[in-house]
Amino acid sequence: MKYIRDIKNLNGVKVLMCADFNVPVKDGVIVDNFRLRKITPTILFLRERGAKIILIGHIETPKEHPTLEPVVKYFDNHDIKCTLIKNYRNAYEEIERMKNGDTVMLENIREHPEEKQNDDNFAKQLASLADLYINEAFSVSHRAHVSVSAITKFLPSYAGLLFEKEIENLNSVFKPEHPFLFILGGAKFDTKLPLIEKFINIADKLFIGGALANNFFKESGIEIGKSVVSPMNFNLSRFFNNKKLFFPIDGVLSMDKKSLKNIGELRPEDTMYDAGPKTVEILEREIMNAKHILWNGPLGIYENGFKEPTQSIAKAIARVTAGGARSILGGGDTLATLSDLNMEREFTFISTGGGAMLEYLAKGTLPGVEALENSLI
Residue among 2, 188, 257, 278 flagged as catalytic = 188
Quick check: is 251 catalytic? Answer: no
- Told to judge if 110 belongs to the known catalytic residues of this protein, a careful annotator would answer no
Sequence-separated (6 or more) residues with CB below 8 Å from residue 145: 115, 116, 118
Measured CA to CA in angstroms, residue 202 lies from 170, 185, 199, 284 at distances of 14, 18, 5, 20
**Residues 108 and 58 sit within 8 Å (Cβ to Cβ):** yes
Q: Which of 12, 50, 101, 355 is catalytic?
A: 355
DSSP state of 173: G
Does the annotation mark 355 as catalytic?
A: yes
Contact, 350 vs 329, CB < 8 A?
A: yes
Please confirm, yes or no, whether 14 is among the known catalytic residues. no
Q: Say which of 12, 50, 101, 332 is annotated catalytic.
A: 332
DSSP string covering 102-164: -EEEES-GGGSHHHHTT-HHHHHHHHTT-SEEEEE-GGGTTS--TTTTGGGGTS-EEE-HHHH
> Which of 35, 38, 52, 192 is flagged as catalytic?
35
Let me know: does 41 contact 91? Beta carbons within 8 Å: no
CA dihedral 303, 306, 312, 314 (to 10 degrees): -10
Instruction: Tell me which residue of 196, 227, 222, 224 sits closest to 362, measured CA to CA.
Output: 196
- Catalytic sites, residue numbers: 35, 188, 332, 355
